[in-house]
Amino acid sequence: MSIDVGARLRRVRLIYGLSQRELARRAGVTNGLISLIEQNRVSPSVGSLKKVLDGVPMSLAEFFTINVDEAPQIFYGDDELVEIGSDDVSLRLVAAQRPARQLTILRERYAPGAATGDDALSHRGEEGGVVVRGRIELTVGGTTRVLGPGEAYYFSSTIPHRFRNVGREPCEIISASAPPTF
């Protein structure tokens, strides 16, 4: 069938946490147009679609390339980590099946209530990590989940993300990112 431009746009917009009006403002179009496109009530001109995507920003190539069906796995349960270590050195690999990984490991500790800031982070590369102690609220794109000890995450750093300790005890995470930003 035809490409579901509407669903794609809606997904992209929500991943970046924008309302129709906010996206419209950034793109220099009307909110009504965003609404009509997302409902597939119109087939936007390439020019219009480009304007809209410039507000994200995202290229037309990216837009038509992203797979809306199978989103890459973001959250991993305790039992979804792959053990690649030995008896005395346990190495449990996150996103083992994800191709072309390049990781730098960090150890992060969050005080109760601490967060990575009011604005969401967004930068090059990919990052992932494991909660060792405490509980952390992680927002990636439009999805939010509270992770506890043993649970993990892995996502592309270009998707806006934010960490916040919602527990009463310190939270500890073993994380990795690439390419190194520090």
Partner DNA sequence: CTCTTGTGTCCATGATGCTAAACAGGTTGC
Partner DNA sequence: GCAACCTGTTTAGCATCATGGACACAAGAG
Which stretches of the chain bind DNA, using CB under 7 A?
19-22, 28-39, 41-45, 47-48
Binds a copy of itself (CB under 8 A): choice among 38, 58, 64, 69 = 64
Out of 14, 19, 60, 170, the only residue in the binding site for a copy of itself (CB under 8 A) is 60
Report in angstroms how near the CB of residue 179 gets to a copy of itself at its nearest: 23
Contact 120, 150 (CB under 8 A): no
The residues facing 65 across adjacent strands are: none
141: which 2 tokens? 């794109």
30 near a copy of itself, judged by CB under 8 A: no
Residue number with CB closer to a copy of itself (46 or 89)? 46
Give the number of C-alpha atoms closer than 13 A to the C-alpha of residue 170, restricted to the C-beta side: 7
3 binds a copy of itself (CB under 8 A): yes
Q: Is 61 in the site for a copy of itself (CB under 8 A)?
A: yes
Whichever of 71 and 105 has its CB closer to a copy of itself, that residue is: 71
Cα–Cα distance measured from residue 148 to residue 124, given in angstroms and rounded to the nearest whole number: 26
In angstroms, the CA 5 to CA 108 distance is 39
Could you tell which of a copy of itself, DNA, none binds residue 64, using a CB distance below 5 to 8 A set by kind? a copy of itself
Residue indicated by tokens 């270590």: 85
Interface with a copy of itself (CB under 8 A), residue from 41, 65, 69, 90 = 65
Strand partners, 107: 174
3-state DSSP assignment of residue 67: coil
